[in-house]
Amino acid sequence: MDIDLIKVRLKEIISEERFVHSVNVSRVARELALRYDYNADNAEIAGLLHDCAKDLNYKTLEKMILEYNIQTDEIIQKIPKLLHPLVGAAIAEKEFNIQDPAILKAIKAHSAGAAQMSLLDKIIYLSDKIEPFEE
């Protein structure tokens, strides 16, 4: 999917503050990807979409977990904040037509990390933590 089109659609579903954060994360992710010889477009897309479900309330997240048949575990069920990466990956796949499993996995792992993180997982995780928030 075209990055500019992702931005247009993303702006429709998240707050302005979250959108600015996502754009900043995507910029940092692109820079890190170039530095570490990874596909910069994929890093930028994952950075843009990593928080696409973050503004959803808990009831909506629960509903989407069921609707998309997303598997959760006891830890995730006890910490509702960890639902948004799972739902975000589903939204990226279903609504933004992202089919690359590496991008979807990076979105899932961006909040709490994961065992056996790929380079893209690490890039998105780190970019989310260090992005320079600009108002």
pLDDT band at 10 (very low <50, low <70, confident <90, very high): very high
The number of domains in the chain is: 1
- Sign of the Cα pseudo-torsion (85, 87, 107, 47, in order): negative
Per-residue DSSP letter, 80: G
Domain interval for residue 34: 3-130
Task: Enumerate long-range contacts of 29-34, CB under 8 Å, 24 or more apart.
Answer: 29/123, 29/124, 29/127, 32/123, 32/126, 32/127, 33/120, 33/123
pLDDT tens digits, one per residue of 44-61 = 999 999 999 999 999 999
pTM above 0.85, yes or no: yes
At 133 the pLDDT is 61
| Residue range 64-107, pLDDT digits in tens | 999 999 988 888 877 878 999 999 999 999 999 999 999 999 99
Query: Is 135 domain-assigned?
Result: no
11-34 residue pLDDT tens: 999 999 999 999 999 999 999 999
* Residue partners of 81: CB distance under 8 A and separation at least 6: 111
Any domain includes 70: yes
The amino acid at 93: E
CATH number, residue 21: 1.10.3210.10
Can you give the pLDDT at residue 135? 44
Residue 41 forms part of a structural domain: yes
